[in-house]
Chain A
Amino acid sequence: MDPSSQATLQELRERVNAAHRNRAPLRLRGAGTKDFYAESPSAGELLDLRPYRGIVDYEPSELVITARCGTPLSVIDTLLADRGQFLAFEPPAFGGEPTIGGVIAAGLSGPRRPYAGAARDFVLGATLLSAEGEILRFGGQVMKNVAGFDVSRLLCGSLGILGVITEVSLKVLPRPRAEETLRFEMSAADAVTTFNRWSGQPLPLSAAAWCAGVAWVRLSGATAAVRAALERLGGERVDSTEATRWWNALRHHDHPIFSSNMLWRLSVPDTTPPLALPGEPLIDWGGALRWYAADHPDIRNVATAAGGTAVLWRGPAPDGTRFHPLQPAVATVHRRLKDRFDPHGIFNPGRLIAGL
């Protein structure tokens, strides 16, 4: 490791050691593009993780990139693009310059998620700066690794409550050779059943969304496969500029629905018919993700009844919780994990679960 990174890491350790000693909470933060994504308002002294940055290792033929937490996502995207590769889970940037540490700590994925996998599916390894100031390495830089519990995937989506993710190793994929987008006029109900049907067939689907009476379907893969699918599915071919604009708006939350003052994110089984809620949703993930830009007093019950969960994305939480409540036994495991990993509660208290 270069001396300046070494020094930066040492500073982070000292901050964590002091916090642990003084039982003084820290607010772990990258670029802050996801500050809103929190159960309770952030408390504690800011620990800015952007200075600990840089690519540690990238070998295109191994399909793995390793980077320090403060590395901007855009730096990684550019580096990968130069070698014809990409992060297939399409993490959202929210119009800012998120860090890779923040991307993994939040564990959010874009439109490609149902077909390529979620953020956690691409995590191969992670390094954790623990409450005791130790550097712990979990997973590694290889595709197949079952030594010990999968703590690196546990950290993906942990919102920093178990420690500081200082380094991550991610699986990368070659960019598809061909990409095309098709548009179809249809109802939400028809879109859901159509997406389900096509997902069960050997088609190179890489995204399927619906908004305001229009279904959008993206095809990615070998040139011949995309060409054959285009002919089979019909619909209206969308030119590549417009297609890129549409999928980026979904991925980075740039679509108008995301500027609503009140926004709910419902995750449901992808076969769920249109829900009994007023207003039209934006549907993504082939039917599994539904955005509602209004408040509905009963929305959580509707999501639960459909076998899913509801997260209040933007706006004040009506029942006091933003994230979906956990089963009691699952909540117990969460509490015990937090107690063991962070006995004095110094890391992002309350960010993922109130009181934790």
Chain B
Amino acid sequence: MSAPAPKTGPEHATRQAEVAAALRRVLPADCVLSRPEELRPYECDGLSVFRCKPMLVALPRTEQEVRDVLLTCRRLEVPVVARGAGTGLSGGATPHETGVLLSLARLNQILEIDPAARIARLQPGVRNLKVSEAAAPHGLYYAPDPSSQIACSIGGNVAENSGGVHCLKYGLTVHNVLGVRGLTVDGDLIELGGRAPDPSGLDLLALVIGSEGLLMVITEVTVKLIPRPPLARVVMASFADVQAAGNAVAAIIAAGIIPAGLEMMDRKATAAVEPFVQAGYDLAAEAILLAEADGTPEEVAEQITDIEAVLRSAGATAWVASNSETERLRYWSGRKNAFPAAGRISADYYCMDGTIPRKNLGAMLKAIEMMEERYALRCMNVFHAGDGNLHPLILFDANIPGEWERADQFGAEILELCVRLGGTITGEHGVGIEKINSMCVQFSDAERAAFFAVKAAFDPSGLLNPGKTIPTLARCAEYGKMHIHAGELPHPDLPRF
């Protein structure tokens, strides 16, 4: 699978000139990019294996300008791909070769912080971390914290329904966004949700969150702010095998504890990160568990005691609780730096994002070990253990012929196993262009038809982010054939949830 080669012929140039001229009639000159060197920075998002130069880039500064771009594209039937900060990991903002890339980066104002109402009203280009920074003087913060939070935009978070390490207790983007305002491709203003809870009608807000730019273009987001817990402490525990660590996670939940964060790393991951950050990980352990408690000092003390009791009976070989903020951050540093550490020990890495019911963790990790042998590639595992979200990091070298193709197949096989184990192909990174074939494994033709019905209800012209997220019938038929050809999978008769 790769993006189509950019068109360069005279037809393309004529079309580009026509659309550029139309956009320049509604936008100032510096808001429309058309020269190849200007377009290049936009040719991929955070998943750089997929590249495609857009025909044009539009950089509107106001909602009215966004509307003008959409009306122009609608009239000329030009595909529109919206982009926030471009940090996405599934190629959701990969440009369309004959389309306009609509960057919302210049709509970057915090419109309102209302501490009494505990809300922030934001333009889509505001960075995730900036929201919490702006709310901090009021003792409030915005809970979802994807690992890219220093750079990723709130509009992109809405498009992807982004998660983070605190989802089990504090929820995903969908649980923390109160309302959105935006435009359909026809330029109609739509407001969904808002500060008054549970409005009449269907919950279209839930549909739009995580819709990967296929339904509408967001121009404003209202988020919920919550009180910053006065204290957080993390317990770090070692286990002699990954299954025992998985059982400990289940035991913590069964004991009625919902930790603020509950993360696992296997030995390959700790071995990769420890030389890099000196977090103090037990390198003899097969798995490390990090369990965080937050709240008032009394609450945290009670929860830490409970967590330690569960870890003891669940067979942890060692455990230690952080006694200072410095120590807490050091224990987390390895987990937070797992991706860069993978980059340090391998030329390239490919991050997967499946979710499985926690009880199947052991089976999944064993299967991944066997795949490592079969594909002759290494894979290190970090895992949002609390909510069953896996991030296997497949290590490869794109300069060695065949390695990327093997990594791609390795990844697809992990995702198919996630579906068979009762999970999903993407927990928080989105489908984009990357996992579009795996959607054929998770959803039936009729289910995908329902997705297309949703798409058509918002965007009858089909111009918003075409070719992403929902594979066509033809594409899935083709993918199914490829698979039977390779002599493995699919398993159409297996229960899928």
Contact = CB atoms under 8 A, between A and B. Distances in A.
Bind each other: yes
Interface of A: 59-64, 84-85, 107, 109, 113-114, 117-118, 120-121, 125, 128, 130, 132, 134, 136-138, 140-151, 153-154, 156-158, 162, 169, 173-175, 177, 193, 196-197, 199-204, 221-225, 227-228, 267-271, 285, 288-289, 306-309, 311, 323-334, 336-337, 340-341, 352-353
B359 A324 contact: no
Contacts of B303: 222
A137 B116 CA distance: 40
A142 B428 CA distance: 12
B175 interface: yes
B211 A136 contact: no
B328 interface: no
Nearest to B306: A222
Given A61-B359, A140-B497, A120 B206 contact: yes
A143 B167 contact: yes
B178 to A, nearest CB: 9
A26 B261 CA distance: 46
Contact of B427 (A138, A145, A331): A145
B439 A144 contact: no
A350 B207 CA distance: 22
Contacts of A153: 174, 203, 206-207
Closest 10 CB pairs of A and B: A224-B298, A153-B206, A174-B256, A340-B453, A308-B196, A144-B427, A269-B195, A336-B457, A143-B387, A323-B200
Nearest to A157: B203
B302 A222 contact: yes
A235 B447 CA distance: 54
Given A147-B435, A154-B206, A309-B199, 18 more contacts: A141-B422, A144-B424, A148-B431, A148-B447, A149-B211, A153-B206, A154-B202, A173-B258, A200-B118, A200-B139, A267-B197, A267-B198, A269-B195, A334-B204, A340-B454, A340-B456, A341-B453, A352-B202
Contact of B387 (A118, A144, A196): A144
Q: Which residue, of B116, B250, B442, B458, has the highest number of chain A Cβ atoms within 10 A?
A: B116
Contacts of B200: 309, 311, 323-326
B425 interface: yes
Contacts of A140: 422-424, 497
Contacts of B117: 196, 269-271
B497 A125 contact: yes
Contacts of A311: 200
B356 interface: yes
Given A113-B197, A142-B355, A154-B202, A149 B210 contact: yes
Contact of A222 (B194, B295, B426): B295
Contacts of B194: 269, 307
A200 B202 contact: no
B465 to A, nearest CB: 13
Interface residues of B, number: 100
Contact of A200 (B116, B254, B469): B116
Contacts of A270: 117, 195
Given A136-B446, A137-B497, A225-B295, A145 B426 contact: yes
Interface in B48-103: none
Contacts of B203: 107, 120, 153-154, 156-158
A148 B396 CA distance: 29
Nearest to A329: B188
A86 to B, nearest CB: 11
B336 interface: no
Contacts of B423: 140, 142, 145
B389 A147 contact: no
B287 interface: no
Contacts of B476: none
A166 to B, nearest CB: 13
A130 B254 CA distance: 36
A179 B161 CA distance: 33
B410 to A, nearest CB: 19
B196 A288 contact: yes
B456 A336 contact: yes
Q: Which residue, of B191, B206, B387, has the highest number of chain A Cβ atoms within 10 A?
A: B206
Contacts of B256: 84-85, 174-175, 177
Q: Which residue, of A85, A221, A340, has the highest number of chain B Cβ atoms within 10 A?
A: A340
B253 interface: yes
Contacts of A333: 190, 204, 457-458
B171 interface: yes
Contacts of B425: 147
A297 to B, nearest CB: 19
9 contacts: A85-B256, A113-B197, A130-B446, A145-B427, A149-B211, A153-B207, A199-B118, A225-B298, A269-B117
A271 B116 CA distance: 7
B137 interface: no
Contact of B296 (A224, A268, A353): A224
B479 to A, nearest CB: 15
A118 B198 contact: yes
B229 interface: yes
A3 B426 CA distance: 33
Contacts of B496: 137
Q: Which residue, of A138, A143, A157, has the highest number of chain B Cβ atoms within 10 A?
A: A143
A267 B302 contact: no
Interface in B202-243: 202-204, 206-207, 209-211, 214-215, 227-230
Nearest to B430: A146
Interface string B293-331: 001101101110000000000000000000000000000
A107 B426 CA distance: 26
Contacts of A151: 207, 450-451, 454
A204 B497 CA distance: 35
A59 B359 contact: yes
Nearest to B178: A269
B115 interface: yes
Contacts of B454: 149, 151, 154, 337, 340
Nearest to A331: B201
A327 B227 CA distance: 33
Contacts of B251: 61
A145 B424 contact: yes
B196 A147 contact: no
B276 interface: no
A332 B185 CA distance: 13
B160 interface: yes
B497 A341 contact: no
B424 A200 contact: no
B443 interface: yes
B357 A141 contact: yes
A200 B470 CA distance: 40
A17 B80 CA distance: 39
Nearest to A330: B190
B204 A154 contact: yes
A326 B192 CA distance: 10
Contact of A201 (B227, B453, B497): B227
